[in-house]
């Protein structure tokens, strides 16, 4: 079972909580809501790949969702939900950022801090500590 936690800096953000639930459904059951888009790694940043950091294009919740007929690879926009997969316990993920607007233009500025947060606050956790996090499941 997939477990998605939210970084402590974002836990009280209702939009992030909604995205975390949608992400858990996608990762666990491949259910794609109209607000989730293309999912990928940061291919040009080796440290982000090494740290297990991913981005998913997302429509903002007040925006019109993508049509169910729009294929996931074609669902692109300028907002990223940034999350990480634990390096050892692979079914644990954590949402660490929502970059909007101008995600494509600004992500390189934020990525070093995001990687630092992932490595120092998520990747260092053992299984017991991961289980103790507040998380959502599909």
Answer whether residue 137 shows pLDDT above 90. no
What are the residues facing 56 on neighbouring strands?
Answer: 39, 81
41: DSSP letter: E
> What's residue 93's pLDDT?
98
> What's residue 138's pLDDT?
79
pLDDT, tens only, 97-130: 999 999 999 999 999 999 999 999 999 999 999 9
Average pLDDT, the chain: 97
In 10 A of CB 122, how many CB atoms?
Answer: 25
> What's residue 110's pLDDT?
97
Q: What is the CA radius of gyration of the chain?
A: 14
Predicted TM-score (pTM) of the model is 0.96
How far apart are alpha carbons 134 and 127 in whole angstroms?
13
pLDDT, tens only, 9-64: 999 999 999 999 999 999 999 999 999 999 999 999 999 999 999 999 999 999 99
Question: Domain locations in the chain?
Answer: 3-136
């Amino acid at each position: 079972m997939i477990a998605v936690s939210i970084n402590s800096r974002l836990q009280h953000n209702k939009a992030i909580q909604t995205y975390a639930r949608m992400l858990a459904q996608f990762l666990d059951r491949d259910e794609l809501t109209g607000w989730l888009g293309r999912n990928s790694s940061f291919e040009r940043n080796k440290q982000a790949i090494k740290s297990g950091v991913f981005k998913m294009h997302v429509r903002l919740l007040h925006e019109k969702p993508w049509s169910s007929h729009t294929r996931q690879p074609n669902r692109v926009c300028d907002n990223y939900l940034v999350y990480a997969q634990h390096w050892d316990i692979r079914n644990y993920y954590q949402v660490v950022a929502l970059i909007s607007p101008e995600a494509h233009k600004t992500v390189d500025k934020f990525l070093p801090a995001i990687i630092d947060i992932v490595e120092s606050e998520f990747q260092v956790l053992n299984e017991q500590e991961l289980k103790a996090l507040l998380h959502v499941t599909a």
